[in-house]
């Protein structure tokens, strides 16, 4: 009985569950990320919102959450959030840091977070981004913080 109860308690409650089926929900979901991150970042830190392309050359939008939101930041840093189809009974989130390039071929260190958005994963995204924007946090330090924070989920 307790097991069933515990399992129920630990199951994620998805946010914007129909974001892949309903474009109005998708737009609200994108706005959610923009507002959520704006609470934790100053305008001074952000060079460009949604700097990663989300549409084909003919203007057709991807509408698949890959990515759902991105930021180009000062100090050659960036953030990309991939929101995956909500389908798991356990909290689903992965994260890594990689080096990419901007259009002028400058190296950019990019924090990528891929998740199923739920009550159990939403705060982790904010925590990771909060860590990443700190000037002293480089790729190596961030990899350690990702491991540490993911273990707590």
Partner 1 sequence: MAKSNDSLEHRGRFQAQGRGVEESESWAQEKPLSVSKGLGLLGKLIGKLKPKDYERRKKPFKKAQAFVVEAGENGGVFAHLGRSFRVKGSKDERVDIEVLGGKAFVKENNDE
- Binding site residues, partner 1, CB under 8 A: 51-53, 55-58, 60, 66-67, 70, 80, 82, 84, 88, 92, 94-96, 98, 100-103, 105, 110, 112, 114, 146-147, 150
CB of 60 to partner 1, least distance (A): 5
If the CB atoms of residues 112 and 137 are measured against partner 1, the closer one turns out to be 112
Give the CA count within 13 Å in the CB-facing half-sphere of 8.
5
CB of 114 to partner 1, least distance (A): 4
Rounded Cα gap, residues 49 and 34, in angstroms? 8
Do 110 and 80 form a contact (C-beta atoms < 8 A)?
yes
If the CB atoms of residues 18 and 98 are measured against partner 1, the closer one turns out to be 98
CB of 152 to partner 1, least distance (A): 13
Cα dihedral across residues 90, 7, 149, 38: positive or negative: positive
Cis peptide upstream of residue 67 (ω within 30 degrees of 0): yes
If the CB atoms of residues 37 and 112 are measured against partner 1, the closer one turns out to be 112
Rounded Cα gap, residues 14 and 119, in angstroms? 7
If the CB atoms of residues 4 and 103 are measured against partner 1, the closer one turns out to be 103
């Amino acid at each position: 009985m307790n097991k069933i109860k515990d399992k129920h308690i630990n199951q994620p409650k998805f946010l914007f569950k129909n974001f892949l089926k309903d474009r109005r929900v998708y737009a609200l979901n994108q706005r959610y990320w923009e507002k959520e991150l704006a609470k934790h970042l100053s305008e001074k830190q952000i060079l460009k919102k949604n700097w990663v392309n989300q549409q084909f050359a003919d203007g057709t939008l991807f509408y698949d959450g890959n990515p759902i939101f991105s930021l180009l930041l000062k100090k050659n840093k960036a953030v990309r959030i991939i929101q995956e189809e909500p389908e798991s009974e356990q909290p689903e989130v992965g994260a890594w840091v990689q080096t990419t390039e901007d259009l002028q071929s400058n190296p950019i260190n990019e924090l990528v977070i891929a998740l199923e958005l739920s009550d159990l994963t939403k705060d982790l995204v904010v925590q990771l981004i909060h860590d990443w924007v700190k000037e002293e946090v480089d790729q190596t330090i961030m990899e350690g913080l990702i491991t540490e924070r993911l273990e707590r989920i």
